[in-house]
Amino acid sequence: MGCDGLTGQPNDEKLQFMVQSSGTNDVKEGEVFDMKKELSLRMHLVAMRLNFQFKVKKSTPELYILRCVDTSCTWRLRATKLRDCNMFKIKKYYSIHTCNGGVLKQDHRQAKSWVVGHLVQAKFTDVSRTYRPKDIIQDMRKEYGVNLSYDKAWRSSEEALRLIREDPASSYGLLSAYGEALKIMNPGTIFELELKDGKYFKYVFMALGQSIRRFLACIRPVLVVDGAHLKWKFRGVLLTASGADANNQIYPVAFAIVDGETVAS
């Protein structure tokens, strides 16, 4: 069986939609998935919901075979890649467990951080709520009966944030368009982006037009420059130029991201 022109492609939005719509429903023979990762995620969720564990007997670009962790059990799944695309189809699925069933859920082997990250991703989109690793632990215990370690819950939160923010490196490519949008929406804005070799991020400077106008009109003509080190995946220094208003409240005027507090920057 071929794909008839369809080409399944990895997409985190597709995976999240699957989680929200039918993620924990059991699968069936003949079901087709856009990609192997979608099938894998679905099976991990099913195992957590139905309280069983499996092991991957074989996983290649063309084949995906699962077996129950109990070698005497008949539960198993076999899926193969369709021709000319990345889609996977379930060819054989024996869904009945002949083992004792029920697993020790202290460390469910299918409750991996990347799986839990997909499950809790939506919780991080609510800006009015702080969703902490201990909240993940409580939710997983309540909804799935799975006990997570704090370390795994923390890694799950990092995965959820990665899914929401997407690849940090690609976001740097949006800076130029972001700067042009700022200039249009906030007249008088100064936005300067400097690249290394014409394509790699080096420096960025931003001062909003409204901030500049208010500073010139009613803020003391004194600026204090301070820096804060960025310690995430891409390091650097965030520089801020701030003044003080009539109430001695800090008034940010300009921002810059540089590689360090140097003469060149």
Note whether residue 264 is domain-resident. Answer: no
Q: 111 and 179 in one domain?
A: no
Q: 219 and 145 in one domain?
A: no
Query: Is it the case that residue 1 has pLDDT exceeding 80?
Result: no
pLDDT at 162: 86
**Alpha-carbon torsion (15, 16, 21, 27), positive or negative:** positive
Domain boundary among 165, 197, 212: 165
Query: What integer best gives the mean pLDDT of the chain?
Result: 87
Residue bearing the bigger pLDDT, 265 or 105: 265
**Number of folded domains that form the chain:** 2
Q: Which domain holds residue 63?
A: 12-165
Confidence at 7, pLDDT banded by 50, 70, 90: very low
pLDDT at 27: 92
User: What average pLDDT does range 198-223 have in this prediction?
Assistant: 92
> Is-contact 48 114, C-beta < 8 A?
no
Query: Is it the case that residue 233 has pLDDT exceeding 80?
Result: no
> Is-contact 255 193, C-beta < 8 A?
no
Confidence at 153, pLDDT banded by 50, 70, 90: very high
Residue bearing the bigger pLDDT, 237 or 170: 237
pTM above 0.75, yes or no: no
